[in-house]
Amino acid sequence: MKKTLLLTALLSATALGAQASELKIGLESDPDALDPDKSRTFVGRIVFTSLCDKLVDITPELSIVPQLATAWETSDDGKALTMTLRDGVTFHDGTPFNAEAVKANIERSKTFDESVRKSELSSIDTVEVVDALTVKFNLSASDATLLAQLADRAGMMMAPSALSPDFASNPVCSGPFTLTERVSQDKIVLDKFAGYWNADAILLERVTLVMIPDSTVRLANLQSGDIQIVNQLSATDAAAVEGNARLRFANITGLGYQGLTFNGANGDKSNNPLGQNAKLREAFDLSIDRDAINQVVFNGLFTPASQPFTPASPYYNPDFPVIKRDIEAAKAILAEAGVQTPVKVQVQVPNTPVTLQLMQVIQSMVAEAGFEVELVSKEFATLIADASVGDFQISQQGWSGRVDPDGNIFGFVTTDAGFNDGKYSNAEVDRLLREARTISDPAARAERYKAATAILAVDRPLIYLYHLGWLYGLDAKVQGLTLYPDGMLRLEGVSVTE
Amino acid sequence: MSTVSDAPDAVLDRPAKSRAWAKFRAHRIGMFGAGLVGFFVILAILAPILPIQDPIATDWGAVRQPPSSTYWLGADEIGRDLLSRMIWGAQASLLAGVVSVGIALGLGVPLGIIAGYFGGWTDAVISRCTEALLAMPFLILAIALAAFLGPSLTNAMLAIGIAATPVFIRITRGQVLSVAAEDYVESARAIGLPTHLILRRYILPNVLPPILVQATLTIATAIIAEASLSFLGLGQQPPAPSWGSMLNTAKNFLAQAPLMALWPGIAIFVVVLGFNLLGDGLRDALDPRSD
Amino acid sequence: MFVFFLRRLLVAVPTLILISIFVFLLQQLLPGDPVLAMAGEDRDLATLAALRERYGLNETLPVQYWVWISAVLQGDFGTSIRSGEPILDLILQKLPVTLQLAAMSLAFAMLIGIPMGIVSAVNKGTKIDLAANVIALSGLSIPNFWLGIMLILLVSVRWQLFPASGYVPPSEDFWQSIRTMLMPSFVLGTGLAAALMRHTRSSMLEVLRQDYVRTARAKGLTERRVVLRHAFRNALTPIVTLTALLFGELVAGAVLTEQIFTIPGFGKLIVDAVFNRDYAVVQGVVLVTAFGFIFMNLLADMAYVLLNPRLRHAR
């Protein structure tokens, strides 16, 4: 009798089990340390999305919503943020999540010598445990970017019991999945955390992230059914995915961009016509046909850009639409400037196929206006090192994008900021962007960003080319996936049918 | 080679040379290899005057198109003519092969002669260094050097040349050791001929044949190495073409435009085969033991 | 024999020291700042300085070398700057993968190369010989990475017969492991098969000229017996030696093959470490590879001497 029962149970289990329990995702590169305080890679953030919950999260429309914090309140002077924490949450090792844990996490992010989160949390002076489920951040100045930071790695909560410099070798968080195995350069295996506070929303038992750097091979794995999601699908492969009945193509415009940074004041190399003359930069800009780039290189899937913010963003400045190619105007500017053509300029570009293709197209476009571009391709490691010490005239660089507008502009154009490789400096831009950091009213913030964008559109310390799109190839069996502009894969509600 | 015929005792040498040439001419496979190499060399030299399209002119309408009457081999990812890029690419590949082997010869042969002829501590130091370098994987050494020097065709050639040097040191040293023990060298030394003369007149000409064979075979390896480095993005810089960098690009469009990957692969294969066949022919022709 | 081995070992010591210096300098050659390379999108100057300090990148070169080599001698290769994993663990994790690839490629090369070499030597000068030679030379001339790409295109993308990438340990699923490694080992094995064929051919030709082979023939033994029992046995010595040497080269050749088929082995570890400027990993892995190469050389020498008793007292 017992046997029959068991058999029936098994049968019904298989009947219900029309859902496969495992999802395999092909990632484009191997993440670095699995420690939210040390992590520096984009793919690392994708892993963390399943592994570590944050205090708050975002919606696809970029509003901040509860995750580990259920409610929050900013004091009238903007100098205190009080958060109410979710009750009954435990970390993977069974230890409870509470205000003490938040305090330990924020303090580690701010003081751990290898932490790269310090600047993101610099506005937090002290963390106060009000009661077990209430925590108060005392700020040195009001900080409009803080919530967005807490929706990313700076807000990821690690188990205080596991905090050590070697956290990465055995990460313990409170996310929907736990780390089962990591074989570097090969795969990361995550298993469902039975004690997850939102366990009902997690339909997968296991998620395997497979590292496959080559986009063609990644696609081949999707076609053969070895993986079910291709992250960072190559734009030129989109048609192949769409043409396959067993696959689906999905994309969403991201928050990041690709652009060209001009060296205006960083060392000797800034002494070049384009570095010194904004009019020539304008001519360069005018000779680029962004629509043609989008068609030739990205099959029309990306969004041409002339600003750091996407047109959908409330901070977008409609007075400065995407620059249309005007080769005659470009030539006229060159003639007026009285420079001898061709104007020679060197562009450093990362030696990846897509960036090289992009720059060769631009090289050919600007040649018509009278610019002779020499491409110097460099490995990424060398490129960024050279850029930061000013060993470049123009550097082709991109940014994966952040939720808060500040993350997409401040570091690149304010005086002496970390990514301001061309050493652009404009007191008015500095003032506007600093103010925007402290104002919480979105409309008032937008005003500052629009004013700064207007100045940058004339000065052109960097020119924006296009906004990245996050492109995915999905097995048609994958159900319930919602895409987010930050490019993260949130697996709540995702299932794989058989 | 001119030093050889300048040598006073070329009398001894000359019959061997012409015998070798006759043997080589009779070596059908070797001649076939020479033919293949010759074909690509001529193509590469004539690239500027052949009636082909500009290898860097772009045509947005022709992106990744299959072969047509305008683009005989098709067009690449930004609409450039693949045929003319293949022909100009031959220049880069052959240059890479020849120049890097030239560098390896220029460094390796003198060091090998010094090590072999003087022996003692000089030999010990050079030999140990050679062994140590040989123990490092060739491609890793080349990758590290190319990364250090920065990606460019010239630097790739340098990197490959340096990475290939130890082989030539070793071969030369071994040859010198066996030649130096010969009677005529002993007697030259006995009559007090200055060292540099002994080296030039007696040692160098007699160690050259096997080095020549090795050089030919190494050109083949070097062409593949250049392609490998370009494939990793460390070789020829865009927009100038090389077969390796064309392959590097093509691998991203395998599904849409497989021909982009086919042409450069075949070209590398054929030219490398040519050098290997040529090397075989030379080996047989220069080997005194073979009949 | 023991003395011979000891002498060889002693000679190897300065080479090993030199290798460690070269390996150390090799990574110093790499341009770019490892700390900046890691920093990626999170560039905070104070943090960068702290990291540089922590990984000893501010010390002078001789000091860095000394710190590194004395730790290595105690079995401590340090930790990866990028992922924070201990390098020894990485090496132990990746080495079996590459060894499996190398072993399968070698098996493949021997299965094809040796019989082809024998057949070609026995039929010297005939069309069979010519065909075998042309095939071998073609094998030597095909660029590995191109062959790999073409196989992925045809076998994985078009026909979907074998997976295009990945690695399954044999302990997990033996047949799946063999299946995933089949294409990569074929790619890596072609060049070796060709080298082995040519080598077998020439050493067989050498042996077939010898008196005892003529004697055996004169005794009226079947040609098959003469070739396999007498000739091939004696031709085996140089083949074994070459095989040991090739094994070292295989590990080097795995660099591109692993890159193309996304196999998480030694070669991929090195290349990724070079590109990520993960100095400590580059040093550790190249050092182990070079030591392995020297070790295989030593083995080859030993095998040579063992198989040729006459050489034991020479030199």
- Report the CATH number that the domain containing residue B142 is assigned in CATH: 1.10.3720.10
Q: Is the pLDDT of residue C37 over 80?
A: no
The DSSP letter of residue C158 is I
Q: What are the domain boundaries of chain C?
A: 87-313
**Residue B93 pairs with which residues in a beta bridge?**
none
Residue-wise DSSP of A12-65: HHHHHTTEESEEEEEESS----S-TTT---HHHHHHHHHH--BSEEE-TT--EE
Q: Is the pLDDT of residue A428 over 80?
A: yes
Instruction: Please state, in angstroms and rounded to a whole number, the distance separating the CA atoms of residues A228 and C297.
Output: 46
If one compares B216 and C275, the residue with the highest pLDDT of the two is B216
**Residue A83 pairs with which residues in a beta bridge?**
A72, A135
- For the residues A400-414, what does the mean pLDDT come to? 92
| Amino acid occupying residue A343 | V
pLDDT-derived band at B6, boundaries 50, 70, 90: very low
Helix, strand, coil shares of chain A, percent, nearest 5, are 35, 25, 40
Probe site for chain B from C138, C146, C152, C188 (most B CB atoms < 10 A): C146
How close does chain A come to C211, measured CA to CA in Å? 56
Q: So what's the pLDDT on residue A265?
A: 93
Contact A216 B234 (CB under 8 A): no
Q: Does C295 touch chain B (CB under 8 A)?
A: no
Q: So what's the pLDDT on residue C75?
A: 83
Q: Using one digit for the tens of pLDDT, what is the confidence trace for B168-197? A: 998 999 888 888 878 888 888 888 888 888
Which residues span the domain enclosing B122? 26-47+81-290
Q: Does A396 touch chain B (CB under 8 A)?
A: no
Instruction: Please state, in angstroms and rounded to a whole number, the distance separating the CA atoms of residues A138 and A439.
Output: 17
Neighbour-count burial of B178, counting CB atoms closer than 10 A to its CB (0-12 exposed, 13-18 middle, 19+ buried): exposed
Q: So what's the pLDDT on residue B290?
A: 52
Instruction: Please state, in angstroms and rounded to a whole number, the distance separating the CA atoms of residues A58 and C25.
Output: 47
Please check whether residue A139 is in contact with residue A80, taking contact to mean a CB–CB distance below 8 angstroms.
yes
What count of CB pairs under 8 Å joins A to C?
A: 125
Q: Is the pLDDT of residue A10 over 50?
A: no
**Helix segments in B232-258, DSSP class H:** 243-250
Q: So what's the pLDDT on residue C31?
A: 67
What residues of C are in contact with residue A385 (Cβ under 8 Å)? 31-33, 36-37
Q: Using one digit for the tens of pLDDT, what is the confidence trace for A288-345? A: 999 999 999 999 999 999 999 988 888 999 999 999 999 999 999 999 998 988 999 9
Q: So what's the pLDDT on residue C34?
A: 67
Where do we find the tokens 């075989």? Answer: B280
**Residue A345 pairs with which residues in a beta bridge?**
A373
Q: Which of A467, A471, A470, A466 is nearest to A485 (CA)?
A: A470
Please check whether residue A62 is in contact with residue A147, taking contact to mean a CB–CB distance below 8 angstroms.
no
Specify if B57 maps to a domain: no
The DSSP letter of residue A109 is H
Q: Does A346 touch chain B (CB under 8 A)?
A: no
Contact B151 A351 (CB under 8 A): yes
What residues of C are in contact with residue B144 (Cβ under 8 Å)? 26-27, 29-30, 274, 282
Q: Which residues contact C22 (CB under 8 A, 6 or more apart)?
A: B132, B133, B136
Q: Is the pLDDT of residue A231 over 90?
A: yes
**Residue A346 pairs with which residues in a beta bridge?**
A374
What residues of C are in contact with residue B247 (Cβ under 8 Å)? 145-146, 149
Q: Is the pLDDT of residue C315 over 70?
A: no
Q: So what's the pLDDT on residue A182?
A: 92
pLDDT-derived band at C309, boundaries 50, 70, 90: low
SS3 C39: helix
Question: For residue C154, what is the nearest residue in chain A, using CA coordinates?
Answer: A220
Specify if B71 maps to a domain: no
Instruction: Please state, in angstroms and rounded to a whole number, the distance separating the CA atoms of residues A411 and A402.
Output: 12
Residue A474 dihedral angles phi and psi, to the nearest 5°: -120, 145
pLDDT-derived band at B151, boundaries 50, 70, 90: confident
pTM above 0.90, yes or no: no
- Number of Cα atoms under 13 Å in the Cβ half of residue C139: 23
Q: Is the pLDDT of residue B2 over 70?
A: no
User: What is Dmax (Cα atoms) for chain A?
Assistant: 97
Determine the length of chain B: 291
Contact C150 B261 (CB under 8 A): yes
Q: Is the pLDDT of residue C310 over 80?
A: no
Decide which of 1.10.3720.10, 2.70.98.40, 3.90.420.10, 1.10.238.10 is the CATH code for C87-313.
1.10.3720.10
Q: How many domains does chain B have?
A: 1
Where do we find the tokens 């469902």? Answer: A192
Q: So what's the pLDDT on residue B15?
A: 55
Contact B255 A219 (CB under 8 A): yes
* Identity of the residue in A351, A353, A382 whose CB atom sits nearest the CB atom of B252: A353
- For the residues A3-14, what does the mean pLDDT come to? 40
**Least confident interval from A246-250, A471-475, B98-102, C83-87:** C83-87
Average pLDDT, chain B: 85
Contact A381 C276 (CB under 8 A): yes
Q: Is the pLDDT of residue C39 over 70?
A: no
How close does chain A come to C72, measured CA to CA in Å? 21
Determine the length of chain A: 498
Q: Is the pLDDT of residue A450 over 70?
A: yes
Range among A44-58, B174-188, C190-204 with highest mean pLDDT value: A44-58
Q: Which residues contact C66 (CB under 8 A, 6 or more apart)?
A: none
In the structure, how many helices (H) and strands (E) does chain A have? 15, 20
Residue A33 dihedral angles phi and psi, to the nearest 5°: -60, 135
Residue B88 dihedral angles phi and psi, to the nearest 5°: -70, -30
* CB-based contacts of A448-451 (< 8 A; 24+ apart in sequence): A449/A309, A449/A315, A449/A317, A449/A405, A449/A409, A450/A315, A450/A317, A450/A319
Instruction: Please state, in angstroms and rounded to a whole number, the distance separating the CA atoms of residues A209 and C149.
Output: 23
Probe site for chain C from B27, B29, B125, B136 (most C CB atoms < 10 A): B136
pLDDT-derived band at B264, boundaries 50, 70, 90: very high
What residues of B are in contact with residue A216 (Cβ under 8 Å)? 251-252, 254-255
What residues of A are in contact with residue C157 (Cβ under 8 Å)? 216, 219-220, 223
Q: Which of C190, B61, B74, B257 is nearest to A216 (CA)?
A: B257
Average pLDDT, chain A: 91
Q: Subunits with at least 3 CB pairs below 8 A relative to chain A?
A: B, C
Q: Which of A125, C55, C255, A420 is nearest to B141 (CA)?
A: C255
Percent of chain B with pLDDT over 90: 34
* Identity of the residue in C140, C248, C282 whose CB atom sits nearest the CB atom of B276: C140
Q: Does B151 touch chain A (CB under 8 A)?
A: yes
What residues of A are in contact with residue C164 (Cβ under 8 Å)? 217, 220-221, 224
Contact A169 C50 (CB under 8 A): no
Q: Which residues contact A105 (CB under 8 A, 6 or more apart)?
A: A156, A157, A158, A160, A163
Percent of chain A with pLDDT over 70: 96
**Domain over A254-469 is classified CATH 3.40.50.1360:** no
pLDDT-derived band at A136, boundaries 50, 70, 90: very high
> Could you give the dihedral angle defined by the CA atoms of residues B268, B269, B271 and B272, in that order, rounded to the nearest 10 degrees?
100
Q: Which residues contact C249 (CB under 8 A, 6 or more apart)?
A: C192
Average pLDDT, chain C: 82
Q: So what's the pLDDT on residue A418?
A: 82
Contact A351 B77 (CB under 8 A): no
**Residue A399 pairs with which residues in a beta bridge?**
A257
Q: Is the pLDDT of residue C299 over 90?
A: no
Q: Is the pLDDT of residue B3 over 50?
A: no
CATH fold group of domain A53-174? Dipeptide-binding Protein; domain 1 (3.90.76)
Where do we find the tokens 């290595």? Answer: C72
- For the residues A385-391, what does the mean pLDDT come to? 87
Contact C289 B137 (CB under 8 A): yes
Contact C143 B265 (CB under 8 A): yes
What residues of A are in contact with residue C33 (Cβ under 8 Å)? 381, 385
Q: Which two tokens stand for residue A254?
A: 């991201």
Q: What are the domain boundaries of chain A?
A: 53-174, 254-469
Beta strands in B139-243 (DSSP E): none
Q: Using one digit for the tens of pLDDT, what is the confidence trace for C127-154? A: 999 899 888 988 889 988 899 989 988 8
Instruction: Please state, in angstroms and rounded to a whole number, the distance separating the CA atoms of residues A129 and A98.
Output: 9
Cα separation values, B239 from A161, A375, B31, B206, B236, Å: 55, 8, 35, 45, 9
Q: Which of A281, A205, A199, A227 is nearest to A464 (CA)?
A: A281
pLDDT-derived band at A6, boundaries 50, 70, 90: very low
Please check whether residue B142 is in contact with residue B157, taking contact to mean a CB–CB distance below 8 angstroms.
no
Q: Is the pLDDT of residue C1 over 80?
A: no
How close does chain B come to C250, measured CA to CA in Å? 9
Q: Is the pLDDT of residue A468 over 60?
A: yes
Contact A296 B79 (CB under 8 A): yes
The DSSP letter of residue A252 is E
pLDDT-derived band at A2, boundaries 50, 70, 90: very low
Q: Is the pLDDT of residue B10 over 50?
A: no
Range among A109-123, A377-391, B95-109 with highest mean pLDDT value: B95-109
Cα separation values, B26 from A342, A442, B29, B281, Å: 56, 86, 9, 9
Specify if B122 maps to a domain: yes
Contact B239 A363 (CB under 8 A): yes
